[in-house]
Amino acid sequence: MQKSEEQGFAKTLGQIRDAMLVPLLAIVTAIILGGLTIWAAGGDPIAAYKGLIQGAFGSANSISETAIWATPYIFAGLAVAFGFKGGLFNIGAEGQISLGAVVAALIGYALPGWLHMSIPAFIHIPLAVGLGMLAGAIWGGIPGALKAYTGGHEVINTIMMNYIALNLTSFLLNGPMRDPNPLNLSARTPEIALSARIPPLFNIPGMRVHWGFIFALLIAVLIWWILWKTTLGFEIRTVGANPDAAKYAGINVKRTIVITMAISGALAGLAGAIEVTALNYRHELGFSTGYGFDAIAIALLGKNNPYGVILAAFLFGAMRNGGTRMQFLTQIPADIISVIQALILLFVAADAIIRFIYRIRARQEQVVLTRGWGG
């Protein structure tokens, strides 16, 4: 990483351009194809996209809702991206999110009762969020340890851990943690105490965007810093690039794998904990289904870069949020959003299609060079 500052800056710009070109073209192509699908089904694609954009950015409130959607996507996208950087595929974000939410909810509603006292917010919030994060870290760390010390593949084990987490959550929300209100017909916890709630950013009724969103952005910066400015990050990336070389270079590969998965799980746990403490104020079965899987798409679209993840999370959040207005204005089912997302993912994953359509030469070598060994 020895390079002069100006040269580095120009290079960074070029790198950003190169890195963003394929994802941007993938998005554009997916939107065109999505539009054609709408048109083919008898809808008006222009009206649909107008509704989508209006719904996502048309007013201060809709931007606030987009940020709300983006928040868990940023955390979960970072979780998956962090794993990818270490050469690990964390499919378990779904379960880690769920456990993070359960623990945050439990601490949120039950702790004051256990201690027989009210807890000030500056202790209660960090405790709820922190323990939720810890739950995610443990849930991610277990498959990490299995991978490091027994060779059990993390893809299989994170999927298995998902089943355990989701069924455990189902048991807890239906049983010991269920809201005891006799009118409650759902599998959900009681509401968390006021002292455990992360406040909204603005004191405007109806505007729900909360400090958890700012926190997500800060965490993204922190993850970037860890990955590219610390020894740990260097080790993680080296293990990701080539575990054998890393081992030869004296890096403790096993330890690094466990740490990578634990941090990845912690980030996913945060996604759940923040949703509970800042938005829903309780955990409910059915909430957050699919975030952990959307996160894989977000990480890929963001090229596993924390800032890329923020942008990708925003895009996905905007589409999910704008879908309502699109449906309201045109009666086009919001499922079309899933089609567009799937197309984006297809084009990002199989970027040869995009390179072929738009005649872009692959410049992968250069990216790899500058990333690893300083050009």
Contact positions vs other proteins (CB under 8 A): 32-33, 36-37, 39-44, 47-48, 65, 68, 170-171, 173-175, 181-183, 185-187, 206, 279-280, 284-287, 320-321, 323-325, 327-334, 356-359
Residue 49, C-beta contacts closer than 8 angstroms, at least 6 positions apart: 31, 35, 326
Nearer to other proteins, 238 or 321 (CB): 321
Q: Which is nearer to other proteins, 5 or 335 (CB)?
A: 335
- Contacting residues for 100 by C-beta, under 8 A, at least 6 apart: 132, 133, 135, 136, 268, 269, 270, 271, 272, 273
CB distance 356 to 26 below 8 Å: no
The least distance separating other proteins from the CB of residue 325, rounded to whole angstroms, comes to 7
CB of 320 to other proteins, least distance (A): 7
Measured from the CB of residue 230, what is the shortest distance to other proteins in angstroms? 35
Minimum Å gap between C-beta 110 and other proteins is: 18
Nearer Cβ to other proteins (304/321): 321
Per the DSSP assignment, residues forming a β-bridge with 210 are 200
C-alpha pair distances (Å), 40 with each of 32, 35, 313:
12, 8, 28
Of residues 12 and 61, the one with the C-beta less far from other proteins: 61
Neighbours of 174 (CB within 10 A): 13
DSSP, res 116: T
- Which residues partner with 200 through β-bridges? 210
Nearest CB to other proteins, comparing residues 98 and 260: 98
Between 159 and 207, CB nearer to other proteins = 207
Name 288's Cβ contacts closer than 8 Å, sequence gap at least 6: 72, 94, 97, 98, 101, 271, 272, 275
Q: Which residue has the tokens 């870290």?
A: 137
Rounded to the nearest whole angstrom, what is the least distance from the CB of residue 78 to other proteins in the complex? 20
Least distance (Å) from other proteins to the CB of residue 286? 6
